């Protein structure tokens, strides 16, 4: 499989958001940097490792961190956004919510 461009990754993120009924973070600069980070991770590891998590070294051990990560649904539900804040609960930003750092559910 060839390298991905940021446009490819943006299409992937849009698709995930649509499927889960989430929305992408409306902070364009922040979201662009995450899309870039996801693209870097795809081209580095061969899968969309969460841009805010580090790889343990293999796809198997990183499986729960592949975007959308295994913790994203619970985080969106509880905090209004996923760990890296790429995906937001629909209406979270419109109602004044501002994504911030949240605990990594992987450790809980």
Partner 1 sequence: MTPGPCGVALRAATAGGRTAGDLPKLDLGNTIYAKETEPMLEALNYTPVNGEKSSPLVTVYALSTCGFCKRAMTFLQNHGFAYRYVYMDQIPVETKNECKRELKETFKVDVAFPFATVGDSEYLVGFIEPDWKKTLGV
List contacts with partner 1 (CB under 8 A).
Answer: 30, 33-34, 36-38, 40-41, 44, 51-57, 84-85, 100-104, 107
User: Nearer to partner 1 by C-beta: 53 or 89?
Assistant: 53
User: Which residue number, 38 or 89, has a Cβ lying nearer to partner 1?
Assistant: 38
Stated as kind and residue range, the H or E segment containing 87 is: strand 87-89
Beta strands, E only, 8-48: 22-24
Query: Smaller CB distance to partner 1: residue 62 or 89?
Result: 62
Minimum distance of partner 1 from residue 76's CB (angstroms):
16
Interior angle at CA 64, CA 107 and CA 106, nearest 5: 10
CB 102 → partner 1: shortest distance, Å? Answer: 7
For residues 3 and 87, what is the distance between their CA atoms, to the nearest angstrom? 23
Nearest approach in angstroms of CB 80 to partner 1 is: 15
**Nearer to partner 1 among residue 14 and residue 56 (C-beta):** 56
Please state the closest distance from residue 51 (CB atom) to partner 1, in A: 4
Between CA 97 and CA 99 the distance in angstroms is 6
d(CA 82, CA 51): 12
């Amino acid at each position: 499989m060839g390298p991905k461009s940021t446009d490819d990754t943006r299409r992937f993120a849009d698709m995930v958001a649509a499927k889960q009924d989430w929305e992408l973070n409306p902070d364009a600069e922040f979201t662009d940097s995450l899309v870039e980070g996801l693209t870097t991770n795809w081209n580095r590891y061969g899968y969309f490792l969460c841009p805010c998590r580090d790889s343990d070294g293999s796809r198997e051990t990183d499986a729960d961190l592949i975007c959308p990560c295994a913790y994203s649904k619970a985080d969106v539900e509880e905090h209004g956004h996923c760990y890296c804040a790429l995906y937001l609960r629909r209406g979270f930003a419109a109602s004044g919510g501002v994504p911030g750092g949240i605990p990594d559910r992987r450790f809980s």
